[in-house]
Each structure stands twice: as structure tokens, then as C-alpha cells.
A and B are shown apart, each in its own frame.
Chain A
């Protein structure tokens, strides 16, 4: 997929990943054939609304899905197959080569240990260093993520810190072993807006300090815009648009992406009406034939409900979109595509 870069540069490669969860009503297809690669030092953003399969994709990479999940495809870390590997083998990669930052810092730290102990533990889990050395390194890491008075804070317990501070501790733990890939699963979602920027800054420090590739999962396009080199847009378990941040933000070629962009309030364009995408994501239990976005799409044509589109190059070889109507989006603003149909839905809602 990332054709023009040498294969050795790609640290994490996911190919045709499919995840299903058996339920009483049938197989829930949470992820349907996702492929991507992350290069060293690159920040890859994955956006999509709740239930699009963003988190499941990253959990599958870490091998942390429940045992009931049916997973197929391949996940390669530096050419090494991780999917289906034994837990003991995965444990040498987890935390050492690939580390993960979870959504809620309130619960992702163990409440009974001091934070210094927890950072030191992460180091000692993969390196044989003395306790004192690990503690020193822990203090350095806390300083890197901008925790004031790191030496004193080593003996604090998680409940004594604010949410933002805790998430910084989690980031420090994630970078403790100098990983090659950091997966951040909605790192700012559980936090106050005012600390989000600080956390993103800490994440950036972590990424630059370790030189790691970062997979940044979020539903907040503003977070992605400032950080990501490349962006994947997910919808109903599939990638619907792939490209560099500029491609996706300035020349989106999939109506869903256009809708997402149009729903973000922007200070540089005051007076523009925010648009909403009518309807709700389809049930991944009984997906309709054709494009999963078709029922909500203002540009829908007969072909959309018959054949599911595949990712195809649009503005450039690296900018892919899965849409039959991508040509219709050239030069269109979000308001042009969505406004009429959105107000129509509001109208019909009033009537009911």
C-alpha cells in the first residue's frame, strides 16, 4: 500500500485485518479488511465516529482482544507476525516495542502503587536495571512529559493527581522502553478541553524523544489536524479515505469525510453554519449491500446501494477514497454537499 517507501522503513504493517465478535444475533463485523502501514517517526491519525472500529483495530494489533473475537489478516511488526502469536511471545513486544496509551487516565493507573513505582516497573519489566536506576529514569521521564517537581511526584499515588497529570504519567510509561510504535487510543477524550493541548504536546515530546511511529486514534479532527502526517478515515469497520493530512483536510474525496470536516467549528471561518450528517451509522450486524454510508449520503446514486466501493486513488497515488461519487466532490464545500439534506431531516423530524 505505501508503495513508494522502502519496506524496511515500515515498522508496523496491518494487512486485510478483519475482526468479528460472535453474538446472539450473529457475527458483529467490527473491522472489515483494514490495511495500513506506519513508517518510523510518522504520526498516523485514525478518525471515525464511535463504533467505527478504531479501537478494535488497535486492540487487535496489541493482541488484547477478548478470546471470543474472530480475527484474520496479518499484523506485522518489523516483518514479525503478531497475529496469532503466543502470549509469551507477544509479551516481549508489548510495552517494549509497541506501547499503548489508553483513553481514561482515571482507571489506567493502578490505584495501589505510587506513580514512581509504576513507571519504574514498566522499565524493569523489559530491562534488567537496578531499582535506583529505574527510579532515576522514571523521574527523567516525568520531567520530559512536563510534570512539575518530578522527584517529589514519584511518591504520589494516582488519586492525588489530576486527570491531565495522570495521562502524562501514562504517556511517560508508554515511552519508558523507547518503543518503536506508540498507539494512543483517544488520549484526550476523557480530559478537560483546556488540558488537551498540553497532553498533545506531551505526546509530541514522547514521539520525538523516542523517534517512534505513532498511531493516534481519535474522533476529534482538531487533534488530528495539528499532529498527523497521514490520516485514515474509518466508517463501519472499513477505511473510507486514506491520505496525507493535507489531502484529507483540503481535498476530501468521500462525502463522510466532508461531513466530518464541516461539523467542526472553525475560528478562521466565522459565520459558516456547522453541518450535521443526518442519520446514524449502520448496524455492523446487518450491513446493507453497497456502500455503508449510502443511507446517509446526500450524493447517493443507484450504484451506491448495489456495489460497495473499494479504495481507489483520487488526487494522487497516496490519496485513496472508497466512493463512487468522489469526482462529484471536486471543489465542493461541506455546506454545498450537506446543508439541504440536513435541514430536510430536521423538517421531517418536526413533523413526526
Chain B
């Protein structure tokens, strides 16, 4: 853009090409603002949309969820139903083939995806809830309270995850929501560390002191001032936790300590099909592919959220 020396002509050039700052102090009358005000939510959404992988991940995840819930309802074969075709390779009739007893693998994988996703979301929800409250309380009060609470957290963190989850998972016996509680009971400690770290720096901020000077109680300061400010870190953490929980559930079910037959999960499907790897590979690869797709898409979403919610990023105008 060549520079125009006179003020009047600059104004007209600018109108033709929005985004170029004018050098004149007086804007022409009736001029619409080039840069409009954006709300916080719009800014976050905008930054998220600029992260292409995150958007792709979100699309893939939405498709998977739709497939698992809507798809399984309309698919001609129901989960657990036997068909006359045994050990059939993938075809239009059976997109993921069938197993040796004639069960349609597509219906099985959709059901497994449902259960795995439900477990993962429940795990993320409960461990985030417990971990955030635990970490925020410890970080806010500090001192002896903090020491005792964080030693409990350390203790949970030192437990060998798979072994304890397997033991507890086995004893609660195969119900999906009980298994999620077991996994959440081991994962909250990670969340509490993140929450405590954020609260430790937040509690020194002047607005916390200002809230105290206004007569806010400790509980109110934690709930209304500290946790909302820590939410971006917590949300990102919860997202990643969904992916981690899917993988742990898969591992548990694979080992036979997670979801058990007659129900199924992606991990259990992989485990059941491992003997068929050379003879009927479709039984093994499709549930595996779904596990990878879910974990990968959620991780990308977490990445995008981290970028979008980070307030230190410049408020982009591009």
C-alpha cells in the first residue's frame, strides 16, 4: 500500500481497504467501525477455530459419538445378536466383518465405543470435581492443611495404577460406572496437583485480598474467585483426562479386570480378538482404530482449548 501524503485521500483509501490504520485524527462521518467489539466467548471460539487440528479432532469426535449412539440404534444388527454369517470378512453386509460366532463386529464396536466413552467422561468428571476441590483447598489454606492434604495426594500418586485399578476393578465386578469410579479414585490426585499449583499463585493476587477486604469467607473466595480463575487449566486437564481414561479402561478390560461379558468395551474387543489376529485381522484392527481415533481427537481438542483459553495470547485481530 503506497503512502498517501494528504489526510483526505488517506481516508478514502482506508475505506476501500479496511484494516489499514488511518493517519488522520478525524474519521469521516457515518463510518462503520472496522474492528467490532468481541465478547470473551467469541474470542475463545475464534482462537479455537484457528487451531485446525483441534477443529478436525472435534469433528471426528462428534462423528464418533453420533455413530456410537445414533448409528447403533439404526444399524440393522443389534449388539450381541448372532447372524448366520460366521467369520465373514468386511463387506457391505458387515462393514467390520463378523466373529466366529457370527456377531456383527460393527455393532460390537459401536457398543464398545459407547461404554468406553461413558467411562471416560465419568472419570474425567469425578476426578476433576474431587481433584479441583482438594487441590484448591490445600493451596488456599497452605501450611499444615496443605502438607497433610498433599501427602495424601502423593500417596495416591505412588500407587501402581494398573495393579490397583485391576484389583479394585475386579472386585467391583465389571459394571461400567463402578469401574469409572475406581479409575477416578486414582486420577483425582493428578488434577489436585494442577489445581493446587494454579491456586498457589492465584491466592497471592490482589483481587483475593480485595475480596477478603469486602468480607468474603474462605469458602466463597475458593468457590467464586480462585476456582473460576483456574478453570482454563482445569478444563484442559479434564479434556486430556478423557483420553487417558479411555486408554486405562482399555488396558484394564484387555487384562480382564475391566468391563466383562456380556457387556463390552473397546479394550475388551481388542482382548477377545487378539487370538484372531492372523486369521481374522478385521476383528482386531477396527476396535483398535476406534481407540486411536478417540484418544487422538480428544488430545487435539485439549491442545486447541489450551491455546484458546490462554489469556496471555495476544487478542488477535487478524
Q: Interface of A with B (CB < 8 Å)?
A: 62, 64, 87-88, 90-96, 99-100, 102-104, 107-113, 121-122, 125-126, 157, 159, 170, 173
Which residues of chain A have C-beta atoms less than 8 A from B215's C-beta? 90-96, 125-126
Which residues of chain A have C-beta atoms less than 8 A from B40's C-beta? 157
**Interface secondary structure of A, over-half rule:** mixed
Which residues of chain B have C-beta atoms less than 8 A from A109's C-beta? 207, 210
Which residues of chain A have C-beta atoms less than 8 A from B207's C-beta? 107-111
The chain B residue sitting closest to A114, CB to CB, is: B40
**Docked CA distance A107–B202 (Å):** 11
Pair count A-B, CB < 8 A: 64
Instruction: Name the contact of A110 in the complex, choosing from B212, B213, B217, B225 (C-beta under 8 A).
Output: B225
Which residues of chain B have C-beta atoms less than 8 A from A100's C-beta? 210, 213
Q: Interface of B with A (CB < 8 Å)?
A: 40, 205-207, 209-218, 224-225, 228-229, 231, 311
Q: 13 pairs across A/B with beta carbons < 8 Å?
A: A64-B209, A87-B217, A91-B215, A91-B216, A94-B212, A99-B214, A103-B206, A107-B206, A108-B207, A109-B207, A110-B211, A112-B228, A125-B215
Which residues of chain A have C-beta atoms less than 8 A from B212's C-beta? 64, 94
The chain A residue sitting closest to B208, CB to CB, is: A110
Q: Are B217 and A94 in contact (CB under 8 A)?
A: no
Instruction: Name the contact of A107 in the complex, choosing from B205, B211, B228 (C-beta under 8 A).
Output: B205
Not counting A64-B213, A159-B311, a sample of 13 additional A-B residue pairs whose C-beta atoms are within 8 angstroms of each other reads A64-B212, A87-B217, A87-B218, A91-B216, A94-B215, A99-B213, A107-B205, A109-B210, A110-B225, A112-B231, A113-B228, A125-B214, A125-B216
Interchain nearest-CB distance for A166 vs B (Å): 11
Interchain nearest-CB distance for B142 vs A (Å): 9
Q: Are B214 and A110 in contact (CB under 8 A)?
A: no
Q: Are A170 and B229 in contact (CB under 8 A)?
A: no
**Docked CA distance A111–B225 (Å):** 9
Which residues of chain B have C-beta atoms less than 8 A from A87's C-beta? 217-218
Instruction: Name the contact of A94 in the complex, choosing from B213, B218, B231 (C-beta under 8 A).
Output: B213
**Docked CA distance A87–B212 (Å):** 10
Q: Are B214 and A173 in contact (CB under 8 A)?
A: yes
Q: Are A62 and B311 in contact (CB under 8 A)?
A: no
Which residues of chain B have C-beta atoms less than 8 A from A170's C-beta? 210
Which residues of chain B have C-beta atoms less than 8 A from A103's C-beta? 206
Of B206, B218, B224, B225, most buried by chain A (CB within 10 Å of CB) is: B206
Q: Are B210 and A108 in contact (CB under 8 A)?
A: yes
The chain B residue sitting closest to A126, CB to CB, is: B215
Interchain nearest-CB distance for A323 vs B (Å): 35
Interchain nearest-CB distance for B32 vs A (Å): 18
Q: Are B311 and A111 in contact (CB under 8 A)?
A: yes
Q: Are A95 and B229 in contact (CB under 8 A)?
A: no
Q: Are A104 and B206 in contact (CB under 8 A)?
A: yes
